[in-house]
């Protein structure tokens, strides 16, 4: 079982048991995976991706009682996303040219190298204050827009942009290699 599968399945189980915070986190995480999945497969440059994400999340919510707890969660969620995409393409009168049978596109397996990279990234981001770290994680890692992340964390759009810029600049200054003369490059 992959890390992502285990994490999402745990959230789903907690959500089914009445944990509203876990349910919200599950839907948020799924949305972050579904957006690029749909954008890559749509013929209109991804214009309808957000609508498909919402339709899929609503279907997952409505059909949650049909999920078998003994089965993998991501395969079940992927099947719903796949059906929503096919229904959308049929309504548009188009036939998909991308293979739709691979759940790995939506929930890729994590390798040992991915785990090491994730651990390094966690250590680096831990250097930031918690609010800034969560903002960076939402925008740069989970794929939320700056506006979505700002709303989630109580920032104005401008304040979120400034915070992200300053956080990235601070991390870059700390971890970027020094120039040949030993001085750090200026922005």
Percentage, residues of the chain above pLDDT 90: 26
Most trustworthy range by pLDDT among 36-50, 55-69, 161-175: 55-69
Kindly indicate the confidence band of residue 152, based on its pLDDT and cuts at 50, 70 and 90: confident
Residues 6+ apart with CB under 8 A from 92: 43
Kindly indicate the confidence band of residue 63, based on its pLDDT and cuts at 50, 70 and 90: very high
149 close to 139: Cβ distance less than 8 angstroms: yes
> Under the phi-then-psi rule, with left for phi > 0, alpha for psi from -120 to 50, and beta for the rest, what region is 176?
beta
Percentage, residues of the chain above pLDDT 70: 79
- Residues 85 and 104: their CA atoms lie apart, in Å, by 16
The confidence score (pLDDT) of residue 180 equals 45
Residues 6+ apart with CB under 8 A from 42: 48, 49, 52, 88
Q: Is 21 exposed, middle or buried (0-12, 13-18, 19+ CB in 10 A)?
A: exposed
The confidence score (pLDDT) of residue 19 equals 92
Task: Pinpoint the alpha helices (H) of 42-136.
Answer: 49-63, 73-92, 112-125, 130-136
């Amino acid at each position: 079982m992959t890390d992502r599968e285990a994490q999402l399945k745990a959230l789903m189980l907690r959500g089914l048991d009445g944990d509203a915070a876990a349910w919200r986190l599950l839907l948020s995480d799924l949305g972050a995976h579904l957006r690029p999945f749909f954008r890559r497969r749509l013929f209109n440059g991804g214009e309808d991706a957000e609508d498909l994400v919402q339709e899929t999340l609503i279907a997952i919510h409505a059909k949650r009682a049909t999920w078998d707890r003994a089965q993998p969660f991501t395969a079940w969620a992927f099947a719903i996303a796949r059906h929503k995409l096919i229904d959308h393409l049929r309504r548009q009168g188009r036939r998909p040219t991308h293979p739709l049978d691979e759940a790995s596109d939506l929930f890729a397996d994590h390798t040992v190298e991915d785990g090491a990279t994730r651990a390094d990234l966690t250590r680096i981001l831990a250097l930031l204050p918690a609010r800034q770290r969560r903002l960076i994680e939402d925008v740069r890692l989970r794929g939320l827009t700056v506006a979505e992340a700002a709303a989630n964390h109580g920032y104005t759009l401008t304040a979120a942009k400034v915070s992200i810029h300053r956080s990235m600049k601070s991390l870059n200054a700390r971890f970027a290699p020094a120039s040949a003369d030993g001085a750090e490059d200026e922005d």
